[in-house]
Amino acid sequence: MTNISILGSTGSIGRQTLEVIENLSDDYFVDALTAHSNVDLLEKQVRQFKPSLAVLWDEADAMSLKHRIGNICEVAFGVEGLKQAASLPSTDLVVNSVVGNAGLLPTMSALDAGKFIALANKEVLVTAGEIIMPLAHSKNINILPVDSEHSAIFQCLMGSHQPPAKIYLTASGGPFRGKTKTDMANITVEQALAHPNWSMGQKISIDSATMMNKGLEVIEAKWLFDLRPDQIHVLVHPQSIIHSMVEFEDGQVLAQLGAPDMRLAIGYAITHPNRLPNPFKRLDFTIHNNLTFEQPDKINFPCLALAYKALEAGGHYPTVLNSSNEEAVALFLDKKIRFLDIPSIIDKALSAYTDKNKHLTIDSILETEIWAREFVISNS
Ligand code: NAD
Ligand code: MG
């Protein structure tokens, strides 16, 4: 029996996680569900999955939910509620599908409580991988990647007694692959949200359009698989069929392939080390009969180079990268800045930051997050 807490259950990954669980055997239970503010959907999920705890961000929303669901389950709110959902004594596995660095404190609570974590939230590894991974190792806690590229690498490394020589993270190239900065000068929010292969939350969709998503994934891979930056290669593969690859010392390459469907990666993170059947669509090689590869365009998509720069600098620079990106994406979605302002403001934030907090702690990461967000707001 596996009891699962889903942080961010109303989002794209959260909803797909519930679909995966619905299609698994009766051995998988939903223990907690959390959402930012979508009371209607959370109510529906609570009625269907009957968790022991439901959490919303605001107290007023939590009160509204409580009023609607009566005593189906306990209701909590805010960061304390999220931390509670991440550390319930009855929970075996925490699926962290919150977006952004907001997932950091609940991740720490899950680790402190010794829970296995299926991690979709890449931002927390970008900001705090240096703290999270050693802590997880010291407590024998599995961090199971949900991000499809990292799930692919994880699967390619299963049973290998040697570390990889290098990895290839594949990237679709996003909706603007092949475009120049001039072409992208007047990109609208609607155009940037229209990803060719994946249907995802708004923030990651914009990250895919700027290619910051791949930049964040490079840093995520560094921490998950203990790699040097020069071992992590990005390869544009527009069909999104090969989810990533590993090259070993002897030149042999292992790849993981599958339909571009996040439910497969979510399912594997939940059932690992087992593989259980599911009804989702299979790959048809007679349709996907042309797999192509190209180098990423680092000139027109500078976010990828900025991510490598932050990774090389280390310390709090990845937090500056991530948090200035989170703020810039929010401003773009609010139509307050233009698409190409996103990389330029992140570049400025990285240049303006001086790593005063040499020692990396959760508190220093949260302070740096505030600094980066304020920098973006006052410089845009
Ligand atoms: P989303 O925006 O669709 O959902 C985010 C969820 O987090 C929602 O339930 C929302 O209510 C909750 N949330 C948002 N802000 C919060 C806050 N401040 N406090 C508490 N809860 C909050 O996002 P998504 O696309 O599901 O992505 C979630 C994470 O998974 C991201 O880190 C993303 O990079 C990663 N990821 C997503 C996909 C995908 O296909 N969607 C693929 C790979 C990785
Ligand atoms: Mg990914």
Q: From the CA of 129, how far away is ligand 2's center (Å)? A: 17
| CB-ligand 1 contact for 152 (6 Å cutoff) | no
User: Ligand 1 pocket, 118 CB below 6 A?
Assistant: no
Residue 99 Cβ contacting ligand 1 at under 6 Å: yes
Q: How many angstroms does the Cα of residue 172 sit away from the middle of ligand 2?
A: 10
Cα torsion 257, 263, 268, 274 to 10°: value is -100
Helices 212-225 and 341-352: angle between axes, nearest 10 degrees: 50
Mean per-residue pLDDT for 304-315?
Answer: 97
What gap in Å lies between CA 227 and CA 218, rounded to an integer? Answer: 10
Share of the chain above pLDDT 90, in %: 97
Question: How far is 29 from 264, CA to CA, in rounded Å?
Answer: 18
Tens digit of each residue's pLDDT (9 = 90 or more) over 271-296 = 999 999 999 999 999 999 999 999 99
Per the structure block, which two tokens stand in for 35? 């959402």
DSSP secondary structure code for residue 277 in this structure:
-
In ligand 1, the atom with minimum distance to the C-alpha of 10 is: 9
8 in contact with ligand 1, CB cutoff 6 A: yes
How much helix, strand and coil, in percent to the nearest 5, is found in the chain? 45, 15, 40
Structure tokens at 107: 């991740």
**Ligand 1 atom at minimal distance to the Cα of residue 37:** 11
User: Is ligand 1 within 6 A of the CB of residue 122?
Assistant: yes
pLDDT, mean over the chain: 97
Q: With a 6 A CB cut-off, is 16 part of the ligand 1 pocket? A: no
Q: Which is nearest to 303 in space by CA: 336, 270, 343, 331?
A: 343
- To test the pocket of ligand 1, the residue of 20, 97, 203 to mutate (highest count of ligand atoms within 8 Å of its CB) is 97
pLDDT band at 158 (very low <50, low <70, confident <90, very high): very high
The helix/strand count (H/E) of the chain reads as 15, 11
Token pair for 179: 């475009």
Give, for ligand 1, the residue of 18, 204, 266 to mutate: max count of ligand atoms closer than 8 Å to Cβ: 204
In the reported structure, the alpha carbon of residue 227 is separated from the centroid of ligand 1 by a whole-number distance in angstroms of 26
pLDDT at 355: 80
117: which strand partners? 94, 143
Q: CA 378, CA 16: separation in Å to the nearest integer? A: 37
Model pLDDT for residues 186-243, shown as the tens digit of each residue: 999 999 999 888 889 999 999 999 999 999 999 999 999 999 999 999 999 999 999 9
Q: Does 147 sit in the ligand 1 pocket, CB within 6 Å? A: yes
Q: What residues have CB less than 8 Å from 188, skipping those under 6 apart?
A: none
- Tell whether ligand 1 has an atom less than 6 A from the beta carbon of residue 102: yes
pTM score of the predicted model: 0.98
Q: What pLDDT, in 10s, does the model give residues 92-131? A: 999 999 999 999 999 999 999 999 999 999 999 999 999 9
